[in-house]
């Protein structure tokens, strides 16, 4: 299931921007963000699972965080707008039920939030938080 989630999100991201590079050295989203990175990249973190039960129905609710970064820029406003819009397009692809109907029962967007970076190079970050739900019936 975790591989399915990663593959699903990676495929949706590539549909929007095939030039975004995955940052695969940070599984938990806590690496030092001040180190230099690729010009444009993203980090996908599959977090906690909150399983639930109701009678014979079980479901897994997995937290997924997607950070999308831009590199250094001198055109801060336009880069910010472009990155934010890209995050919204990715969100739209991710939550489109036609894309995930065979893998998951629901993907809910929790938030889309631009975040200030701890650097002085005008790099930008937009964080998307999702809950992925998969129902199991026994």
**Contact in structure between 44 and 7 (CB atoms under 8 Å):** no
Summarised one tens digit per residue, pLDDT across range 24-52 is 654 444 444 454 444 688 999 999 999 98
Whole-model pTM: value is: 0.83
Tell which wins on pLDDT, 40 or 120: 40
Tell me: pLDDT of 15 over 90: yes
Burial class (CB in 10 A: 0-12, 13-18, 19+), 106: middle
Mention every residue, 6+ apart, whose C-beta is less than 8 A from residue 19. 40
* Average of per-residue pLDDT values in the chain: 85
The model's confidence at residue 70, banded by pLDDT at 50, 70 and 90, is confident
Ordered structural domains, the chain, with CATH: 2-137 (3.30.2000.10)
Cα atoms found within 13 Å of the Cα of residue 131, Cβ hemisphere only: 11
């Amino acid at each position: 299931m975790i591989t399915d989630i990663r593959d699903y999100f990676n495929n949706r991201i590539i549909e929007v921007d095939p030039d975004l590079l995955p940052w695969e050295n940070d599984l938990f989203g806590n690496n030092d963000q001040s180190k230099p990175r690729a010009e444009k990249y993203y980090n996908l973190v599959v977090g906690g699972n909150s399983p639930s039960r109701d009678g014979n129905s079980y479901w897994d609710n997995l937290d997924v965080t997607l950070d999308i970064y831009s590199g250094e820029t001198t055109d801060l406003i336009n880069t910010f707008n472009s990155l934010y819009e890209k995050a919204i397009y990715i969100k739209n692809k991710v939550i489109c039920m036609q894309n995930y109907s065979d893998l998951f029962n629901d993907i809910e967007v929790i938030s889309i939030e631009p975040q200030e970076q701890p650097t002085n190079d005008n790099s930008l970050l937009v964080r998307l938080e999702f809950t992925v739900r998969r129902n199991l019936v026994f």
